[in-house]
A = this chain, B = another copy of it.
Amino acid sequence: MNSEFDVIDRYFTRPRRNALLGPGDDAALIACKPGMDWAISVDTLVAGRHFFPDVDPATLGHKVLAVNLSDMAAMGATPCWATLSLTLTETLAQDDIWLKAFSSGFFALADQYQVELIGGDTTGGPLNISVQIIGEVERGKALRRSGAQPGDDIWVSGHLGDAALALQSLQQHVTLTAQEAAPCLAALHTPMPRVALGKALVNVAHSAIDISDGLLADLGHILDRSGVAATIDFDHIPRSPALKNKLQPENTVTNTICQLAIDCLLAGGDDYELCFTVPESKRDAVIQLAQESGILLSRIGKIIPGKGLTVLGTDSNPLIFKNKGYDHFSAR
């Protein structure tokens, strides 16, 4: 079975030539004007796979740009320019209300980050939206997946698993109260990319990635690229009140809802939070950054020598998980 990562590795990765960094990170890097590199990335959302076809078009316009801005955040880059490839069904191509809402959502977020849409292509077919983004970062300063070192603390921003929990609730696998649902649905539909945080982590973090396919999978990419291992403490993984409720003691490990919540937290997609590693010597800088930015930053584990990722439970014994992340070829 090819996963999406296999397809890239097997068929579309070759030794780099002029680029500073090729496929395999959150973005590619190429040298541009003196002292600056450009980070370039592309991310695609497919109807029925990444979003429900009847999703609010304004939030869809927001999200397709947000997931790309999140890649810039993970590189510590300032997003500047975007192109848009929009494949529309015949119905949507004639739906001015849908198009207006979609473009409004897109541009509202673009304006917030002063990102300019410089071009695009519109085609007919099953709904498919691809955004390419270009950002700037100081020469040699981009945050790569490959920089983690033994001894680094592992940090994540925000809460994990809320978007995945919202999806489970939309699919009626779990019931959320109105109060629980609101922040989870916001996390799913209108994620806010951590661009300012990413930029602040330049000169602080050794490595970074954005969590789009679940913590285990994405931290796994850092470990693979850096040639290191990690342990993380399950209890330290930041979770919202909604997710916490589903992990209550009365929901034992054999309880389906509890299992589902654990999966959301560790392997749910669509978080768009940053996972990054920082040497212990800079721990205070991260704590200060959290205070200044108002963003929750949680220290969840440690980079160690070796290979593999271990999640320690409350009793410090390793937990064993079935799901390792979200693979885009597996239908939801």
Contact = CB atoms under 8 A, between A and B. Distances in A.
A16 interface: yes
A125 interface: yes
A100 interface: yes
A27 interface: yes
Contact of A46 (B49, B96, B125): B125
Interface string A26-64: 011011111000101111111111100000000000000
Given A49-B123, A99-B7, A40 B130 contact: no
A16 B34 CA distance: 24
Contact of A125 (B11, B22, B126, B132): B126
A44 B123 contact: yes
Interface string A97-118: 0011011000100000010111
A2 B329 contact: no
Interface stretch (A76-84, A140-148, A256-264, A299-307): A76-84
A122 to B, nearest CB: 4
Interface in A65-104: 80-81, 83-88, 90, 93-94, 96, 99-100, 102-103
Count identical subunits in the complex.
Answer: 2
Contact of A18 (B94, B116, B121, B329): B116
Contacts of A122: 4, 7-8, 328
Given A81-B19, A88-B329, A99-B7, A121 B12 contact: no
A123 B40 CA distance: 18
B119 A42 contact: yes
Interface string A143-164: 0000000000000000000000
Contacts of A16: 116, 118
Contacts of A94: 1-2
Contacts of A313: none
B124 A14 contact: no
14 contacts: A1-B94, A7-B86, A14-B117, A18-B81, A27-B119, A28-B83, A30-B81, A31-B33, A32-B33, A33-B34, A40-B118, A42-B119, A44-B130, A49-B125
Interface of A: 1-2, 4, 7-8, 10-12, 14, 16-19, 21-23, 27-28, 30-34, 38, 40-50, 80-81, 83-88, 90, 93-94, 96, 99-100, 102-103, 107, 114, 116-126, 128, 130, 132, 134, 328-331
